[in-house]
Amino acid sequence: MKLRKRSIALTLYFILLFIPIYWMIITSLKTDVEILKELTFYPHEISFDNYKEIFTNPFWRSSFMNSLTYVFLNVVITLTAAVPGAYAFSRWKFRGSNHLFFWLLTNRMAPAAVFMVPFTELYYLLHIYDTCWAVALAHCLFNIPLAIWILEGFMSGIPREIDETAFVDGYTFPQFFRKIFFPLIGPGIGVTAFFAFTFSWVELILAKALTVTNAKPAVVQLTVGIGAEGVKWGLLAAAGFLTIIPGAIVVYFVRNYMAKGFALGRV
């Protein structure tokens, strides 16, 4: 009886969870006339005009490519910087290490709006304003501390004797890290990459402040769906649904690592 009640409750939960996604999908398949005319729970006439406009409009195509570009750059930079940083915190204790570790986390706690002005001035001086590099580097301020915190939890759970045994067996540090240590922290890498991707993909404030035209991402393009004829609800719904797909693909490929990561790491 209890199992049946739990199954019913879980089913209702997932139904409520997917109602916004279902509404987004059916809205994207409706015509503007049907959307504004009456409330319908399914499209009376299925139309793919909204998706056609996104794939044929150069502004929408470029915005999605910009988003994918700076998110990929951010994930690569974050992992490149966080892996050795987390290894250092997990293996060596030095004066002020705990304070430095906490200071890194305080950067993650700060609101993104605080850094809009200094980032804008800095990137103007470096001539990288309105580029994918500007957004990718700005997101590193938040993703690298979180990545170090997550990975340090995984690495601290690996005995130091593994490092010493590998060095006694003649492994160099790069060989040890590539052949032995990296496979052991694979779940942590998957979890870290997921969180870095998620934050960078959905972050709006810095992405909007640091881009104008050349590197405007999809998440910013979603906020300017108002034309001379009013709000294009169908177009915004189609674009919103398309922005969900990359995240779903990432979750699909790292799902096994995430399951292990949530069980073993700090998350």
Pair 30, 144 in one domain: no
Look at the chain and report how many structural domains it folds into.
2
pLDDT digit string, tens, across residues 156-185: 777 888 878 888 878 788 888 888 888 888
- CA angle centred on 65, ends 26 and 243, rounded to 5°: 25
Pair 43, 136 in one domain: no
| Domain CATH number, residue 218 | 1.10.3720.10
Pair 197, 259 in one domain: yes
How far is Cα 42 from Cα 25, in angstroms, rounded to an integer? Answer: 9
Question: What does the DSSP 8-state code read for residue 95?
Answer: T
**pTM of structure:** 0.80
In a domain? residue 52: no
Count CA atoms within 13 Å of residue 160 on its CB side. 7
Q: Which two tokens stand for residue 54?
A: 């996104």
pLDDT digit string, tens, across residues 70-125: 899 999 999 999 988 888 888 887 777 777 777 777 777 778 888 888 888 888 88
On whether the CB atoms of residues 171 and 179 are closer than 8 A, the answer is yes
Pair 31, 67 in one domain: no
Pair 210, 97 in one domain: yes
Pair 173, 222 in one domain: yes
Pair 141, 66 in one domain: yes
Which residues form the domain of 7?
1-47
Pair 10, 66 in one domain: no
